[in-house]
């Protein structure tokens, strides 16, 4: 089953809305998609569609499935993980379904080794699509599908959203300063401790601001990242680092059959 | 304790596999601390002591089962604890010698049982369990540790609140305890490190020199005398004999203080101590240590001699007094300086950390001169030094704000580097590479001398690299990459502002992004030879070699590509090999197996190809060393290269063929290349579009075609036609050189020459005799020389006007070219018509003058070429006589000690002696004694030509008698026992000539020539028959004559 687990390279790049319609139109379209590379997953998703109805999972999971990023088995694992985590939270707080900000930040910190409070906050907002202050199961699966199996495009979009603090579609100088403010060692010898940060922001703009308007638009950011992939997380780590991702996957996507044999 | 173990403990640099803890005071201290912790655990934390480890700690124990007492079920070879876990498994299980322990309680008990061998057990345990925390607490605890040390406490607290069950509570407690231990160990080791101070030859020398100045008779001096035991100083500044230098000893001094007896001291880099003193006989020193080690000479003497201590302090007082006098007397000044220095010497403990490093390096340099195999020591020390810096860097990345340690001054760093370099130059590697690039002068940009603006910008970026967290570092790296890194100013600027150190440090972090960014820059700037050296000096190669194991393909690629750039000089190649890089690089080749054709590749597979390509690229660079070629072969590189060669990824093929081409210089590679059917693919790729690929394929064929079978293979796979057609494109000189080289080697086989003639290659080759670089000419002429062994080709060469350019080339100076040209001219001279042209162009004179060439190869080749010239020239005798001093020159060449020269000169003499007048001249020059002297040789080629020369020279005057007088006859008889018929024939002819003289006949008879000659008479070779028979008849006739004389 794990053989279906696809790298980001082979994942199809359909727009989100497209995928939704695919999900609604059901089996016919998936058959159509079978002729494309990645056909193996499509077949699986047909089965999953039926299976899913039986299991009573909500539609959002199917979107993830149809985006060919996380496979059926992995979705299941993520969902069960979610309920495990939520279970812990609800016991203590009595709140219904969903991870609140603190619980989510805790997970980010423990599992994915993120440390920057502000970035973690932003990641939470990135996950919490409907802005209701807690990550629901669909938001969880969707977010993690980007985290773990996202294509470069998806990741760019996600990262840009994280870095665009006020959500105006641009990463401004002020936002950069805010995000980079802890990135340099303060040297007591320097008169202005923020001098370095400002300079760093200038360097970044010089590197990434292609239209020279003093702020980063998504096209600016996209062009810079395509040129140099290292700039994907230019203003702070907001994706899991490969090592913790691997460990997370090893832990979460354990094949129950394999496990039984051990 | 994980951190302390990985960072502070001194592991041996055994490379991969199990590493051992070195036996050093520091390690011992760490182990002791750990033992105390474990031993007291059972009392201090009885509850936690029962906690069952996630995985047992396992190691090979030296303990005997019998040592275990109550509480254990003991059998002959196994021991089980009565204490068991939930599942009934014993917490301690020993099956000699493997032991498994699963709780702290049992660990404590074991240490009690171990008693004296505690330390050994603890060491074995730590060595076998490199990551004890993971084993004890499970993976997730360790993960936390690695990701962010600072937040450990926080996460642990989180865990407490989250997990309710008692076990995780215990776990957390243990984790906290271990963390405490870790901190404790780190502090402890830090204290230890700061105590370590070592002496070096220079400081010792300074101390002694100073003390000498203050020694002598009188009350005021500090000592009566101080002297070295040995006057000889080694170039490393030591005076101890080399075998003692190995122990770190620097020199021995005899000190006579005022109040005590003569002290015989040993100064070693550990410190100064009393030795066994001079033994009476022969002034030998008893090297045994007889007293405590003091940190330096002054401290020891202060301890041993009260007067010294007193006067010493007086000197110091005087110094301070003098300071007050404000240097009013000029002649006082030097003395004052001395006192100042003395003052300094007594305060040796104030040495900076930095100096300490330097001292260590100095010591290594010293030991290394003596023992090349100790080479790895430098890397250990350098590593240590770096580790300090890296720790610092990592701390920063953890987000902690701390003042960075002052980085080493560039000047100092350079000094240290130099000393390493020097030391390493002493060790010569037995490698075949000859194209070693010259060590370029290490020029640095003058400070403030019109520095370009890039310099300042780069300096700023390096500052951010040093002082930034991961995010800032990545931004700085990306920005640095935008500079024109191909430009030397930028390359050197990065180095001069200390950027190289930081970039290399970044490679050691766990941050993949930082590693990638750093490698991207290193890859570019390592095109600069100076930077390459700097990278090696800073110990960059071992780190890059380690990165080759990374699971990230792009990281692997970058590391391999950088290695490919850096390993352009010998020391670097050596370093790659020593750190196991060759095996890893060969393993990279394995990634790109069974790949589809380029058009059908997925992105994923493209990256595999890239990995293999980079691996091959690095191997190509490395394969210029002989030892590396061997290492590649042993690592199983040839079959992998052969498989990659079958694919059609052009980018990859070039380094693959390049590597093969380098390696094909070795005999066993050529055999393997034949076995792996590589030739077929080389030939296939000759038809490729890519010029570089064609070049390397041709080059590989050139190397491989030394062997007859390979030459046939090239023909059978249709390789000759593409080679011939590539000759027509002369723009790319490198490729032309390679192609002509391949043609040369292939044309050694007759069948190939026929093919080349078919493809009209010979005409083209003649066309290439002019206006080509020497590398091409050597090969072209070599090929023509081979082709001209056949009549038809000689005619073609003459018809195409090839003789004139060939003769013109006789005036060159390139040794390889001259050897080939003389051979080609000689081959042409076989044809009388061609000979006329050569004669007209004065070619014989040119050939003759080459006999004066300093290179033996050229001399021999010229002499061989002269033979057909003399044979075929019209009026050869007159021509030879016309060369003033020529005959004398030839005769004198018989004094050479090169066999090939001698054989060729003998052949030339045979031809010269055909003319009577010339024979007379060379006889006057003493050819007979010289030839006779050569007679005792075992070389069949020389024997043959020598015998021919002797038989020719017999034709004049009393030469026959003279050969007998010079004892040439007896050795000649022995030639008949040789296995070579050519030797037989020539010898029989010579003996026949010599047998005209009665004395020679007697000698021959005495040496048993008759029986041997009788066998020769039965030979199918007519000349041999005839000569042998003639000789026998001469001997017989003499015998008859004697008998007749006796009876009448």
Residue B174 forms part of a structural domain: no
Does B329 lie at the interface with A, CB-CB under 8 angstroms?
no
Distance CA B73, CA B81 (A): 6
Q: B73 forms bridges with which residues in the sheet?
A: B80
Residues B902 and B1025 occupy one common structural domain: yes
Does B519 lie at the interface with A, CB-CB under 8 angstroms?
no
Distance CA B480, CA B454 (A): 10
* Start-to-end CA span in chain B (Å): 116
Q: Residue B62: pLDDT above 90?
A: no
Residues B634 and B718 occupy one common structural domain: no
Residue B1030 forms part of a structural domain: yes
Residues B663 and B718 occupy one common structural domain: no
Interface test with chain A among B398, B474, B514, by most A beta carbons within 10 Å: B474
Q: Residue B1008: pLDDT above 60?
A: yes
Which of residues A181 and B420 earns the better pLDDT score? A181
Residues B547 and B521 occupy one common structural domain: no
- Render pLDDT for B108-126 as a digit per residue (tens, 0 to 9): 888 888 877 888 888 888 8
CATH number of the domain where residue B511 is located: 1.25.10.10
- Render pLDDT for B67-91 as a digit per residue (tens, 0 to 9): 787 778 888 778 888 778 777 788 8
Element holding B289 (H helix, E strand): strand B285-289
**Contact between chains at B475 and A228 (C-beta distance less than 8 A):** no
Residues B320 and B466 occupy one common structural domain: no
Last residue in a domain, options B695, B714, B746: B746
Q: Residue B295: pLDDT above 80?
A: no
**pLDDT confidence bin for B21, thresholds 50/70/90:** low
Please give, rounded to a whole number of angstroms, the shortest distance from the CA of B78 to a CA of chain A.
27
Does B139 lie at the interface with A, CB-CB under 8 angstroms?
yes
What is the domain range of residue B910?
875-1045
Which 3 state secondary structure label does DSSP give A50? helix
Question: Of B151, B158, B401, which is closest to A186 when you measure between CB atoms?
Answer: B401
Helix and strand totals (H; E) in chain A: 14, 4
Please give, rounded to a whole number of angstroms, the shortest distance from the CA of A188 to a CA of chain B.
8
Residues B496 and B551 occupy one common structural domain: no
| B176-190, B358-372, B647-661, B817-831: the lowest-pLDDT one | B358-372
- Tell me the average pLDDT across B947-964: 88
Chain B residues within 8 A of A117 when measuring between CB atoms: none
Residues B514 and B641 occupy one common structural domain: no
pLDDT of residue B525: 92
- Dihedrals φ, ψ of B533, to 5°? -60, -40
Residues B689 and B661 occupy one common structural domain: no
pLDDT of residue B67: 79
Residues B659 and B705 occupy one common structural domain: no
Which of residues B402 and B775 earns the better pLDDT score? B775
Residues B621 and B700 occupy one common structural domain: no
List the structure tokens of A67: 């985006």
Chain B residues within 8 A of A109 when measuring between CB atoms: 151, 155
**Contact between chains at B158 and A9 (C-beta distance less than 8 A):** no
Q: Residue B503: pLDDT above 90?
A: yes
Element holding A99 (H helix, E strand): strand A99-100
List the structure tokens of B392: 């610092």
Chain A residues within 8 A of B402 when measuring between CB atoms: 185
What's the total number of domains in chain B? 6
Residue B441 forms part of a structural domain: no
Last residue in a domain, options B715, B746, B777: B746
Count of beta carbons in the 10 Å neighbourhood of residue B551 = 10
Question: Of B463, B472, B478, which is closest to A183 when you measure between CB atoms?
Answer: B472
Residues 18-57 of A with CB under 8 A from B: none
Q: Residue B359: pLDDT above 70?
A: no
Contacts of B899 by beta carbon, 8 Å cutoff, 6+ apart: B937, B939, B941, B942
Q: Which residues of chain A have pLDDT under 50?
A: 1-68, 258-262
Residue B640 forms part of a structural domain: yes
- Dihedrals φ, ψ of A225, to 5°? -70, -40
Q: B918, B955 in Cβ contact below 8 A?
A: no
User: Please, how many CA atoms are within 13 Å of residue B207, restricted to the half-sphere of its CB?
Assistant: 27
B915: phi > 0 → left, psi -120 to 50 → alpha, else beta; which? beta
Distance CA B126, CA B58 (A): 10
**pLDDT confidence bin for B558, thresholds 50/70/90:** very high
Q: B162, B124 in Cβ contact below 8 A?
A: no
Q: Residue B438: pLDDT above 60?
A: no
**Contact between chains at B399 and A10 (C-beta distance less than 8 A):** no
Residue B228 forms part of a structural domain: yes
- Render pLDDT for B36-58 as a digit per residue (tens, 0 to 9): 888 888 778 877 788 888 888 88
Q: Which residue of A has its CA nearest to B397?
A: A183
- Render pLDDT for B718-775 as a digit per residue (tens, 0 to 9): 889 888 888 888 888 888 999 999 999 999 988 898 889 888 888 888 888 888 888 8
Which long-range contacts (C-beta less than 8 Å, at least 24 apart) are formed by B723-729?
A: B723/B686, B723/B698, B723/B761, B724/B756, B724/B759, B724/B760, B724/B761, B724/B764, B725/B759, B726/B686, B726/B694, B726/B698, B727/B761, B727/B764, B727/B765, B727/B768, B728/B764
Count of beta carbons in the 10 Å neighbourhood of residue B189 = 20
Q: Write the burial class of residue B338 (CB in 10 Å: 0-12 exposed, 13-18 middle, 19+ buried).
A: middle
Give the pairing type, strands B271-278 and B263-268. Answer: antiparallel
Distance CA B799, CA B763 (A): 9
Please give, rounded to a whole number of angstroms, the shortest distance from the CA of A55 to a CA of chain B.
29
Residues B617 and B701 occupy one common structural domain: no
pLDDT of residue B27: 77
Interface test with chain B among A36, A39, A105, A110, by most B beta carbons within 10 Å: A110
Q: B97, B62 in Cβ contact below 8 A?
A: yes
- Render pLDDT for B206-217 as a digit per residue (tens, 0 to 9): 888 888 887 877
Residues 224-243 of A with CB under 8 A from B: 228, 230-231, 233-237, 241-243
Residues 64-103 of A with CB under 8 A from B: 88
Range picked from A30-44, A90-104, B5-19, B929-943 for highest mean pLDDT: B929-943
Residues B134 and B19 occupy one common structural domain: yes
- Render pLDDT for B1019-1043 as a digit per residue (tens, 0 to 9): 888 888 888 999 999 888 888 888 8
- Render pLDDT for B315-357 as a digit per residue (tens, 0 to 9): 666 655 555 554 444 444 445 455 454 455 444 444 444 444 4
Q: Residue B607: pLDDT above 90?
A: no
pLDDT of residue B604: 64
State ipTM: 0.75
Please give, rounded to a whole number of angstroms, the shortest distance from the CA of B506 to a CA of chain A.
15
Residue B400 forms part of a structural domain: no
Average pLDDT, chain B: 79
Place of tokens 């040796």: B348
Domains with residue ranges and CATH for chain A: 4-150 (1.10.238.10), 153-242 (1.10.238.10)
DSSP conformational letter for A135: E
- Tell me the average pLDDT across B417-423: 45
Rg (C-alpha) for chain A, rounded Å, is 20
Last residue in a domain, options B633, B668, B703: B668
Distance CA B377, CA B373 (A): 9
């Amino acid at each position: 089953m794990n053989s279906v687990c696809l790298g980001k390279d082979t994942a199809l790049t359909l727009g989100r809305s497209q995928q939704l319609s695919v999900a609604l139109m059901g089996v016919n379209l998936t058959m159509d998609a079978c002729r494309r590379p990645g056909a193996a997953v499509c077949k699986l998703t047909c089965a999953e569609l039926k299976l899913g109805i039986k299991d009573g999972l909500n539609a959002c999971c199917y979107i993830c499935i149809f985006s060919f990023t996380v496979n059926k088995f992995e979705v299941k694992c993520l969902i069960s993980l979610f309920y495990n985590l939520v279970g812990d939270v609800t016991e203590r707080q009595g709140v219904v379904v969903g991870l609140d900000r603190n619980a989510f930040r805790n997970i980010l910190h423990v599992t994915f080794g993120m440390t920057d409070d502000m970035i973690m906050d932003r990641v939470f907002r990135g996950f919490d699509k409907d802005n209701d202050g807690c990550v629901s199961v669909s938001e969880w699966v969707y977010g993690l599908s980007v985290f773990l199996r996202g294509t470069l495009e998806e990741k760019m979009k996600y990262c840009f959203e994280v870095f665009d603090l006020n959500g105006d579609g641009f990463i401004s100088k002020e936002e950069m300063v805010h995000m980079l403010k802890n990135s340099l060692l303060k040297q007591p010898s320097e008169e202005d401790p923020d001098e370095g940060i400002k300079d760093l922001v200038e360097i970044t703009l010089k590197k990434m601001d292609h239209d020279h308007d003093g702020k980063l638009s998504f096209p600016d950011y996209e062009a810079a990242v395509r040129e140099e992939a290292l700039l994907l997380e230019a203003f702070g780590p907001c994706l899991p680092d490969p090592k913790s991702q691997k460990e997370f996957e090893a832990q979460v996507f354990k094949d129950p059959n394999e496990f039984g044999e051990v | 304790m994980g951190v302390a173990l990985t960072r502070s403990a001194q592991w041996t640099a055994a490379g991969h596999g199990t590493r051992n803890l070195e036996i050093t005071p520091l390690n011992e201290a760490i182990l002791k601390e750990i033992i105390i912790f474990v031993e007291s655990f059972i009392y201090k934390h009885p509850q936690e002591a029962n906690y069952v480890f996630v995985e047992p700690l396992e190691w090979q124990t030296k303990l005997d089962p019998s040592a275990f007492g109550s509480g254990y079920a003991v059998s002959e070879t196994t021991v089980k604890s009565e204490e068991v876990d939930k599942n009934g498994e014993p917490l301690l299980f020993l099956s000699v010698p493997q032991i498994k322990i699963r709780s702290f309680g049992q660990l404590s008990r074991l240490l009690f049982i171990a008693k004296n061998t505690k330390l050994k057990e603890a060491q074995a345990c730590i060595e076998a369990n490199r990551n004890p925390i993971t084993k004890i607490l499970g993976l997730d605890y360790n993960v936390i540790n690695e990701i962010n040390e600072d937040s450990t406490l926080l996460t642990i607290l989180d865990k407490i609140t989250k997990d309710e069950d008692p076990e995780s509570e215990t776990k957390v407690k243990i984790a906290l305890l271990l963390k405490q231990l870790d901190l404790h160990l780190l502090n402890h080791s830090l204290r230890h490190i700061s105590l370590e101070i070592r002496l070096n030859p220079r400081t010792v020398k300074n101390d002694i020199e100073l003390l000498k100045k203050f020694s002598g008779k009188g009350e005021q001096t500090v000592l009566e005398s101080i002297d070295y035991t040995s006057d000889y100083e080694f170039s490393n500044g030591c005076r101890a004999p080399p075998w003692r230098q190995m122990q770190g000893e620097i020199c021995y001094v005899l000190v006579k203080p005022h109040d005590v007896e003569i002290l015989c001291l040993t100064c070693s880099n550990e410190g100064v101590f009393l030795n066994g003193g001079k033994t009476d006989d022969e002034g030998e020193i008893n090297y045994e240590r007889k007293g405590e080690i003091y940190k330096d000479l002054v401290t020891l003497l202060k301890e041993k001699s009260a007067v010294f201590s007193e006067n010493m302090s007086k000197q110091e007082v005087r110094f301070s007094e003098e300071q007050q006098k404000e240097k009013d007397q000029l002649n006082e000044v030097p003395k004052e300086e001395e006192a100042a220095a003395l003052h300094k010497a007594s305060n040796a403990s104030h040495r900076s950390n930095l100096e300490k490093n330097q001292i260590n390096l100095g010591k290594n340099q010293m030991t290394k001169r003596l023992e090349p195999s100790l080479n790895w020591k430098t890397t250990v020390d350098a590593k240590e030094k770096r580790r300090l810096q890296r720790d610092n860097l990592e701390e920063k990345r953890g987000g902690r704000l701390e003042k960075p340690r002052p980085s080493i001054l560039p000047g100092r760093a350079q000094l240290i580097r130099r000393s390493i370099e020097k030391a390493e130059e002493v060790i010569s590697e037995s490698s075949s590479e000859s194209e070693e690039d010259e060590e370029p002068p290490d020029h640095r940009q003058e400070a403030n001398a019109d520095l370009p603006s890039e310099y300042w910008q780069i300096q700023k970026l390096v500052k951010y690299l040093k002082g930034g967290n991961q995010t800032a570092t990545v931004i700085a790296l990306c920005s640095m990459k935008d500079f024109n890194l191909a430009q030397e100013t930028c390359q050197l600027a990065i180095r001069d502002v200390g950027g190289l150190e930081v970039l290399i440090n970044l490679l050691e972090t766990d941050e993949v992004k930082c590693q990638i960014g750093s490698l991207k820059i290193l890859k570019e700037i390592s095109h600069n030879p100076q930077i390459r050296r700097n990278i090696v000096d800073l110990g960059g190669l071992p780190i890059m070699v380690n990165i080759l194991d990374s699971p990230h393909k792009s990281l692997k690629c970058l590391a391999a590509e950088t290695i490919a750039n850096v390993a352009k000089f010998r020391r670097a190649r050596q370093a790659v090999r020593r750190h196991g890089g060759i095996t890893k690089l060969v393993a990279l080749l394995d990634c790109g197996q069974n790949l589809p054709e380029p058009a059908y590749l997925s992105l994923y597979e493209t990256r595999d190809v890239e990995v293999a390509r980079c691996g091959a690229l690095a191997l190509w660079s490395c394969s210029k060393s002989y030892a590396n070629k061997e290492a590649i072969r042993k690592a199983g590189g040839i079959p992998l290269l052969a498989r990659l060669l079958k694919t059609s990824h052009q980018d990859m093929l070039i380094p693959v063929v390049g590597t093969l081409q380098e390696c094909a210089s070795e005999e066993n590679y050529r055999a393997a290349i034949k076995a792996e059917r590589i030739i077929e693919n080389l030939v296939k790729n000759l038809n490729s579009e890519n010029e570089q690929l064609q070049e390397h394929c041709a080059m590989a064929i050139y190397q491989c075609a030394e062997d007859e079978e390979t030459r046939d293979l090239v023909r059978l796979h249709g390789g000759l036609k593409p080679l011939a057609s590539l000759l027509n494109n002369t723009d790319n000189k490198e490729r032309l050189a390679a192609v002509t080289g391949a043609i040369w080697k292939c044309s050694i086989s007759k069948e190939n020459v026929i093919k080349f003639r078919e493809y009209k290659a010979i005409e083209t080759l003649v066309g290439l005799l002019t206006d080509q670089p020497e590398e091409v000419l050597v090969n072209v002429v070599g090929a023509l020389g081979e082709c001209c062994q056949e009549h038809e080709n000689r005619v073609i060469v003459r018809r195409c006007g090839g003789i004139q350019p060939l003769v013109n080339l006789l005036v060159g100076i390139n040794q390889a070219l001259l050897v080939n040209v003389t051979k080609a001219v000689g081959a042409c001279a076989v044809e009388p018509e061609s000979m006329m042209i050569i004669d007209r162009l004065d070619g014989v004179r040119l050939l003759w003058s080459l006999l004066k060439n300093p290179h033996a190869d050229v001399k021999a080749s010229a002499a061989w070429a002269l033979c057909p010239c003399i044979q075929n020239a019209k009026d050869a005798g007159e021509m030879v006589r016309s060369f003033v001093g020529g005959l004398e020159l030839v005769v004198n060449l018989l004094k050479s000690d090169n066999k090939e020269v001698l054989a060729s000169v003998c052949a030339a003499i045979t031809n010269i002696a055909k003319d009577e007048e010339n024979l007379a001249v060379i006889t006057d020059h003493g050819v007979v004694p010289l030839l006779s002297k050569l007679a005792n040789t075992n070389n069949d080629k020389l024997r043959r030509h020598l015998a021919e020369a002797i038989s020719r020279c017999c034709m004049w005057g009393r030469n026959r008698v003279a050969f007998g007088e010079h004892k040439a006859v007896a050795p000649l008889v022995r030639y008949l026992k040789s296995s070579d018929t050519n030797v037989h024939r020539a010898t029989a002819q010579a003996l026949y000539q010599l047998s005209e003289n009665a004395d020679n006949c007697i000698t021959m008879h005495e040496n048993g020539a008759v029986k041997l000659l009788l066998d020769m008479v039965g030979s199918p070779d007519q000349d041999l028959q005839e000569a042998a028979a003639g000789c026998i008849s001469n001997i017989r006739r003499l015998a008859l004559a004697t008998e007749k004389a006796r009876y009448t």
